[in-house]
Chains A and B, each alone.
Chain A
Amino acid sequence: MPSLLILVPLLGIIILNLMFKFTRRRVAFWFAFVLFSIQLAITLLYRQPWYRITEPAFSPFFKVGLSIDSLTFVMLLCIEIVCLASLVVSRYTLIDRDQRFNFINLLIIASVGMNGIVMTRDIFSLYVFLEITAVSSVILIAFRRGKLALEGAFKYIMLSAVATILMLSAIALLLLVSGGTDFQAIHTSIMGFHKSRVIVFAIGIFLTGLFIKAGLVPFHGWLPDAYASAPSAVSVLLAGIITKACGVYTLIRLCTSVFGPSVSLNQVLMLAGTVSIVAGALAALGQQDFKRMLAYSSISQVGYSIVSLGCGTPLGLIGAVFHLFNHAIFKSLLFVNAAAVEERVSTTDMEKMGGLSSKMPVTSATSLIGFLSASGIPPFSGFWSKLIIVIALWQSGNRAYAVIALLAGVLTLAYLLLMQRRVFSGKLREGLQGVREAPFGFCLIALLLAAITVGVGIFFPVAYAVLFEPVRGVLLR
């Protein structure tokens, strides 16, 4: 039942806040853990028949369509997994119980927002849930009120609000020709009038707004600041899922179902994607702070998904979604490890690190897995998704883009392995003698995420058939 994924967390927040102050501070973490596990269970069971039995009881209330199709399913999995990872990280990095309580509430609200984004089929409700996610993530970035965090949060909220204004203007213009705001109605009217300058203008500004949200070059200004200055648990959330659900998922959904198959749209997407891949990778090479390097790496990986989307073929779409899933998993893994290192070493400057693998073996090993997957080395999951993207580009005749994607993969390998070497390999630096391995929960969640990366990579045919092949159906409308 799709609406359960919105109602259950909402109920959770209400219950959590109605408890006595003493109880709720202690209970918050486990309560949220159970809540997210329930959401994960609901997601995994979405094909069961009892969903449809309970439907009539809810449907008069939730008439505006919420539905779960194959693309939504993949996104929901990512959301729940990354939220759980962020929750576990917060247990160790936010010692103060009050802060953790605030964090958990905002985390639940953000997850409601993202669940809504991926399940809705109405363009204005999409805006509403986008705003919910944006507002809660801004508060999450700023809630410890450090100087740098406030700066990152302010840049984020201003750019996000500008993106919102652009999207709203586009919706208003589209309402001129469409009778309603659901995807179907807008799609029909766009197909009817796709030569009109006003409609093309509306789609153009909507795309600009979405590019800002997704962090594509040249609208990526907020992204490195926000990722690097946010508290560690929030960075995991931001990099792992928020940018993807808000920006990349909405691009995929709207470009396939609403703005229609269109050659010029695909050209724009491929161009923007390629520029992001290359610019992100080049910028990542020169960074000292390793959260910043991961942020630029995110820009680059998002570019891969967009290039694949711009391809226009079903295989391209599958590649984009698969890479989205993989990116969510390995980027969260990398940020979890970054949080562990930051927690133990108290800095994120790579100049001050070196040789940590002797002191933090689990973190180092899982980091290596994450980096190798991000670079596209077999047998990890990243290899398969990049392969599909390159094949899709080659097959659809965009040979030049395929070559660029391949070469950028080499660049990715370069800077990521550089990072692994600087932080973990080599001799242990002087001040780092007292560093211990990360706490148990960190290791657990890092191992889990690494296991998913390895598992999807090794059992690729199964994962492909179950999770990603059905996404093809989104395009065939």
Chain B
Amino acid sequence: MSGSELRLFWEFVIFIIMLSVVGFYCILVTRNLIKALIGLEILTKGVTLLFIIVGHSTHQEALAQALVITLIVIEVVVIVVAGGIILSVYRHEESLDARALRKLKG
């Protein structure tokens, strides 16, 4: 099967790949905890877009929408909890430097 049927899909996937690269790079390189959370959010946006474009290409928009709605609700909860942890870390350490989180040797 050649790319002609999936042209639209593939155009979007190129940009989704770029978005994922941005997200992963952000999580790996940043020293600020909130930036890491932003990187995670960017990755999530990429996956959301992927679901939508897959749904459109295969004419399953209804299923894709239902999945995306659930996805969004879950992501909000994850962000709230991660934000709570970051706030608690800040209250202990008075800083958001990720290097302060090197106490555990891993």
Contacts and interface: CB of A to CB of B under 8 A. Distances in A.
| Direct contact between A and B judged by beta carbons closer than 8 A | yes
Interface of A: 124, 128, 131, 135, 138-139, 142, 145, 147-148, 150-155, 157-158, 161-162, 165, 168-169, 171-173, 175-176, 179-181, 221, 224-225, 228-229
B103 A165 contact: no
28 contacts: A124-B67, A124-B70, A142-B88, A147-B92, A148-B103, A150-B89, A151-B101, A151-B104, A154-B33, A155-B101, A157-B82, A161-B40, A161-B78, A162-B40, A162-B43, A165-B40, A168-B51, A169-B47, A172-B47, A175-B58, A175-B63, A179-B60, A221-B106, A224-B104, A224-B106, A225-B104, A225-B106, A228-B104
Contact of B27 (A162, A221, A228): A162
Interface in B63-89: 63-64, 67, 70-71, 74, 77-78, 81-82, 84-86, 88-89
Contacts of B64: 175
A229 to B, nearest CB: 6
Given A131-B78, A135-B78, A158 B103 contact: no
B106 A150 contact: no
Given A154-B101, A173-B54, A138 B81 contact: yes
A148 B104 contact: yes
Contacts of B57: 176
A434 to B, nearest CB: 29
B68 to A, nearest CB: 10
Q: Find the residue from A138, A151, A172, A221 having the highest chain B CB count within 10 A.
A: A172
A124 B65 CA distance: 13
A139 B92 CA distance: 17
Given A150-B89, A150-B92, A221-B106, A157 B51 contact: no
- The SS class assigned to the A binding surface is helix
Contact of B88 (A150, A168, A175): A150
User: How many B residues are at the interface, by size bracket?
Assistant: 35 or more
A200 to B, nearest CB: 15
Contacts of B58: 175-176
Q: Find the residue from A128, A180, A221 having the highest chain B CB count within 10 A.
A: A128
Contact of A165 (B44, B85, B89, B93): B44
Contacts of B70: 124, 128
B54 A172 contact: yes
A229 B78 CA distance: 21
Contact of A158 (B9, B27, B47): B27
Nearest to B24: A162
A172 B50 CA distance: 7
Nearest to B100: A151
Nearest to B44: A165
Contacts of B9: 176
B47 A150 contact: no
A162 B82 CA distance: 13
Contacts of B47: 165, 168-169, 172
Contact of A150 (B43, B77, B85): B85
B67 A135 contact: no
A147 B103 CA distance: 9
Contacts of A139: 81
Contacts of A151: 89, 101, 103-104
Contacts of A145: 88, 92
The 5 closest A-B pairs by CB, nearest first: A225-B104, A172-B50, A151-B101, A165-B43, A168-B47
B42 to A, nearest CB: 10
Contacts of A162: 27, 40, 43
Interface in B1-59: 9, 27, 33, 36, 40, 43-44, 46-47, 50-51, 54-55, 57-58
A148 B103 CA distance: 7
Nearest to A175: B54
Nearest to B43: A165
Q: Find the residue from A148, A165, A179, A221 having the highest chain B CB count within 10 A.
A: A165
Nearest to A151: B101
A154 B46 CA distance: 22
Given A165-B47, A168-B47, A176-B57, A157 B101 contact: no
A152 B44 CA distance: 22
A467 B32 CA distance: 49
Contact of B85 (A131, A153, A176, A224): A153
Contact of A142 (B33, B50, B74, B85): B85
A221 B105 CA distance: 10
A161 B70 CA distance: 15
A432 B101 CA distance: 32
Contacts of A225: 104, 106
B82 A154 contact: yes
A154 B88 CA distance: 11
Contacts of A181: 63, 67
Nearest to B89: A150
B91 to A, nearest CB: 8
B18 to A, nearest CB: 14
B36 A135 contact: no
Contacts of A168: 47, 51, 71
Nearest to A222: B106
A158 to B, nearest CB: 6
